[in-house]
Amino acid sequence: MSALDLFALIILLVLLVTFLAAWAVLGFYPGKIARDRNHPQQEAINVCGWLGAFSMGLLCPVAFIWAYTNPRWREEDSEDKLAEEEGSRQ
């Protein structure tokens, strides 16, 4: 085995390890974002992220967008309206 063949093999192994690491990050990261942001649907986002990784990125944009959304805005908005109504009654 020549030095050039050995160099090519090392480069291929580095590329393979890099690809596998990128794949793992792609599947793991939406769930991590959801957990950090205390998202109420964090387990579903985690599953969507891993399904996106297994489908080679088809669901990954959905998982990332979903992880950054705030589904509690309706709850917060309704709580603000209730507080305003109670304040105006007094």
For residues 13 and 7, what is the distance between their CA atoms, to the nearest angstrom?
A: 10
63 pLDDT higher than 70: yes
Per the structure, the count of domains in the chain is 1
pLDDT score at 71: 75
80 pLDDT more than 80: no
* Residue range(s) defining the domain that contains residue 56: 3-89
| Position with higher pLDDT, 21 vs 83 | 21
Confirm if 45 and 66 have CB atoms less than 8 A apart: yes
Q: Please report which residue ranges of the chain form alpha helices under DSSP H.
A: 3-36, 42-54, 60-68, 73-89
Which pLDDT score is estimated for 20? 94
